[in-house]
Structure 1
Amino acid sequence: MTPETLPFFVYGTLRPGEVNHDLFLRGRVRSEEPGQLPGALLYDGPGYPYAVAEPEGGPVFGELVTANPEEYDELLAALDELEEYTPGDPRNLYERLAHEVVRAADGTAVRAWVYLAAPSVAVRLRAHGKLIESGDWLTR
């Protein structure tokens, strides 16, 4: 089954100026714009963050990234590999889920792929994780 073609919401090492931005996104995207993920909290990880779904939490700040159509499948596969995400694998650290993200420029909601902490990781983070209270990885 081919996943739905959606933009991506990135909130950590894929943001402009961060270590994975140029490695994965340069030349593959049509646009990047500031956005916010409502209903989530941000936790510090070992060199990268985790967003955890929390209905009363958020927002988490990041970028809404739209891939070049001809690069979409390759970019999706590369991001799944970066995030060590395999559909249905219980060992995943992240789950790729479609969520509404809010464009910062005009407040419109857009469905986008977001890599959220997998359920087992989210439980550990809620219990013992270091919350990034600002919701912004760049200001941690």
Structure 2
Amino acid sequence: MTLPFFVYGTLRPGETNHDRFLRGRTSSEEPGRLTGSVLYDGPGYPYAVDEPGGVVHGELVTARPGDYRELLAVLDRLEEYAPGDARNLYERVERGVVRARDGLVMQAWVYVAAPPAAARLRAGGRRIEGGDWRIRS
């Protein structure tokens, strides 16, 4: 299934991994928000963790035609995600993301904290209030 990606940390425009992994591979990037999740600070990058009532701010990124499979593989490697691997720190899941310009809910791939990582973060992680990696304190 070809879906856009929702990015909320180092892949956002202006952040360290945007130029390395997304530049030249996208046809659109637009603000959006993921509801039902909150952000936790990781070692240099954030984790989205499911939590009712929460919101995470980021961008909906659509791959250029013909670049989707390559971009999917690149992002899976970056996030160290392998389907079904119990060692994953992130899981790639399909979620509804609200597009900022018109409020339309778009289905998108989102890398969220895998269950063991989410449990550790809930127990002792530092939550990013407001759900925006760019304005973390």
Question: 2:20 matched to 1:20?
Answer: no
Instruction: Tell me the residue number matched to 1:38.
Output: 35
Counterparts of 1:124 and 1:26 in 2: how far apart (Å)?
A: 33
Question: 2:81 matched to 1:85?
Answer: yes
Counterparts of 1:8 and 1:69 in 2: how far apart (Å)?
A: 14
Instruction: Tell me the residue number matched to 1:129.
Output: 125
Residue by residue over 1:5-45, the C-alpha shift from the partner in whole angstroms, topping out at 9 and shown as x without a partner, is: 10000000000110000100001000000000000000000
Structure 2, gaps ≥5 residues long: none
Counterparts of 1:24 and 1:7 in 2: how far apart (Å)?
A: 15
3-state SS in 2 of match to 1:100: strand
Letter aligned with residue 49 of structure 2: V
Identity of aligned residues (%): 71
Counterparts of 1:56 and 1:120 in 2: how far apart (Å)?
A: 21
Give the CA deviation at 1:56: 2.5
Instruction: Tell me the residue number matched to 1:64.
Output: 60
Give every structure 1 segment of 4 or more consecutive aligned residues whose post-TM-superposition deviation is greater than 3 Å. none
3-state SS in 2 of match to 1:88: coil
Structure 1, gaps ≥5 residues long: none
3-state SS in 1 of match to 2:119: helix
Instruction: Tell me the residue number matched to 2:99.
Output: 103
Residue by residue over 1:55-103, the C-alpha shift from the partner in whole angstroms, topping out at 9 and shown as x without a partner, is: 222x100000000121000000000000000000000000000000000
Match of 1:76 among 41, 51, 72: 72
3-state SS in 2 of match to 1:69: coil
Letter aligned with residue 26 of structure 1: R
TM-score between both structures, scaled by the size of structure 1: 0.96
Aligned residues: 136
Letter aligned with residue 52 of structure 2: P
The structure richer in strand per residue is 2
Letter aligned with residue 101 of structure 1: V
Letter aligned with residue 114 of structure 1: V
Counterparts of 2:81 and 2:29 in 1: how far apart (Å)?
A: 23
Residue by residue over 1:110-137, the C-alpha shift from the partner in whole angstroms, topping out at 9 and shown as x without a partner, is: 0000000000000000000000011000
